[in-house]
Amino acid sequence: TGNVTLDIGFVNTASCTSAITYIDGDAGILRYRGYPIEQLAEKSSFLEVTYLLIHGELPTAEQLAAFDSRLRRHTLLHEDLKEFFGGFPRDAHPMPVLSSAVSALGTFYQDSLDPFDEEQVDLSTIRLLAKLPTIAAYAYKKSIGQPFLYPDNSLSVTENFLRMTFGFPAEPYDLDPDLVKALDLLLILHADHEQNCSTSTVRLVGSSQANLFASVSAGINALFGPLHGGANQAVLEMLSDIEADGGDVDAFVNKVKNREAGVKLMGFGHRVYKNYDPRAAIIKKTADTIINKDGVSDPLLDIALTLEQRALEDDYFVSRRLYPNVDFYTGLIYKAMGFPTKMFTVLFALGRLPGWIAQWREMIEDPQTKIGRPRQVYTGYTERDYVPVDAR
């Protein structure tokens, strides 16, 4: 095999250099452009973090205001793109609807094909950031048979998304500031995570010089998988199954330990974090307040807490250094906010979009970039002679 090194799952291989996100998996550190996630979660906003990830610096007040107003002016979808949603079955999962719509969005901006045209890349960046929430809200409205709402540009992108998701055209929508704040925090926590599966996909597709729309669409599909972004949906389904089985957490943990039918403890484990996931630590603090808002408690939260406690004391999980990851609690929070389970991974996509864009742009601007083309270790037949069909 010559000089080829086998590294299944890229456990030890760096595919690029990057100045965007720093992770120390043993110490549980996550920083965007050098800023600790704890500080950004407490003091910043998703809008500001988006700017930071993409442009490398925190914006001045003026830059932030200009960025905000530019985004607000691009939230509308082309009317023909709206027709697109009619082509899906009503029970379609919104993730493939989202990725298809982003792919289709590219066809409305034919000038965006050249990845080295900086002005177009900038415009595509704004369009994607402004329109993905609109697309996500329409995917949801389609699934419940309700009319689409036009965006209202007097609102911020996060506010607008909530209004287009939960509002009705015929009546005013009262924004709940707690909800806006909680969603903003969750989006910040998901905004980038260096070379994870979807981001690596965005870079790999982009390395062929495919444009931003095509690359991000591919990233959304990578995020759909249950081992990646789909985990937040899988966690809630797991908790519901445990509840339906009478709430027997021990029985479930034993199933995982005995590897019955490939059952995993969803929301646990991470390729990089081996002591704790700093995002999970931040979320856990918020989870209680949001979930128990207005005195309504969720029995699934109790199951989650028992399950977490049980796993953290069990040698199977301890010896494998498996801890709750960001998705262990997000599903419960999204549920408390009123989102149906199918929308959870879509919310992850909205959060991760700035990271995908920042990473794609960094790759395109990097003179070292080459097309991504892994090698392999061949294990098939050596040479053999063709056998005619009547002799097989």
As annotated, the active-site residues are: 270, 327
**Closest of 228, 179, 227 to residue 335, by C-alpha:** 179
CB nearest ligand CMC: which residue? 269
Cβ closest to ligand CMC, residue 130 vs residue 187: 187
Q: 94-107 vs 212-223: helix axis angle to the nearest 10? A: 170
When asked if residue 304 is in the footprint of ligand CMC (CB under 6 A), the reply is: no
SS3 content of the chain, % helix, strand, coil (to 5): 60, 5, 35
Give the pairing type, strands 35-36 and 29-32.
Answer: antiparallel
Query: 250-269 mask for ligand CMC (x: CB under 6 A)?
Result: ------x-------xxxxxx
When asked if residue 324 is in the footprint of ligand CMC (CB under 6 A), the reply is: no
**Minimum distance, C-beta of residue 70 to ligand CMC, in the bound complex (Å):** 30
Query: Cα dist. 123→81, 109, 128, 358 in Å?
Result: 18, 10, 9, 14
The interface region with ligand CMC, picked from 85-93, 221-229, 360-368, 376-384 by CB under 6 A, is: 221-229
Cβ closest to ligand CMC, residue 123 vs residue 263: 263
Helix (H) or strand (E) holding 294: none
The residue type at 199: T
The span from the CA of 148 to the CA of 170, in Å, is 11
Helix (H) or strand (E) holding 160: helix 157-166
The span from the CA of 145 to the CA of 136, in Å, is 14
225-254 binders of ligand CMC (CB under 6 A) = 227-229, 231
The span from the CA of 42 to the CA of 337, in Å, is 20
Residue 262, Cβ density class (10 Å: 0-12 exposed, 13-18 middle, ≥19 buried): exposed
Exactly one of 48, 159, 184, 327 binds ligand CMC (CB under 6 A); that residue is 327
When asked if residue 98 is in the footprint of ligand CMC (CB under 6 A), the reply is: no
- Report how many residues bind ligand CMC under the rule CB under 6 A: 20
Query: 267-296 mask for ligand CMC (x: CB under 6 A)?
Result: xxxxx-------------------------
Bridge-partner residues for 225, per DSSP?
Answer: none
**Minimum distance, C-beta of residue 131 to ligand CMC, in the bound complex (Å):** 23
Exactly one of 238, 300, 322, 337 binds ligand CMC (CB under 6 A); that residue is 322
The span from the CA of 333 to the CA of 339, in Å, is 9
Structure tokens, 255: 């199933």
CA–CA–CA angle 18, 23, 24 (5° rounding): 130
The span from the CA of 136 to the CA of 130, in Å, is 11
Cβ closest to ligand CMC, residue 74 vs residue 93: 93
Query: Cα dist. 207→188, 200, 315 in Å?
Result: 26, 10, 42
The residue type at 287: A
**Minimum distance, C-beta of residue 154 to ligand CMC, in the bound complex (Å):** 34
Cβ closest to ligand CMC, residue 264 vs residue 310: 264
When asked if residue 320 is in the footprint of ligand CMC (CB under 6 A), the reply is: yes
Cβ closest to ligand CMC, residue 160 vs residue 325: 325
Cβ closest to ligand CMC, residue 206 vs residue 269: 269
Cβ closest to ligand CMC, residue 164 vs residue 235: 235
**Minimum distance, C-beta of residue 299 to ligand CMC, in the bound complex (Å):** 21
When asked if residue 100 is in the footprint of ligand CMC (CB under 6 A), the reply is: no
When asked if residue 95 is in the footprint of ligand CMC (CB under 6 A), the reply is: no
**Minimum distance, C-beta of residue 325 to ligand CMC, in the bound complex (Å):** 4
When asked if residue 318 is in the footprint of ligand CMC (CB under 6 A), the reply is: no
Q: Applying CB under 6 A, which residues contact ligand CMC?
A: 9, 196, 227-229, 231, 256, 264-271, 320, 322, 325-327
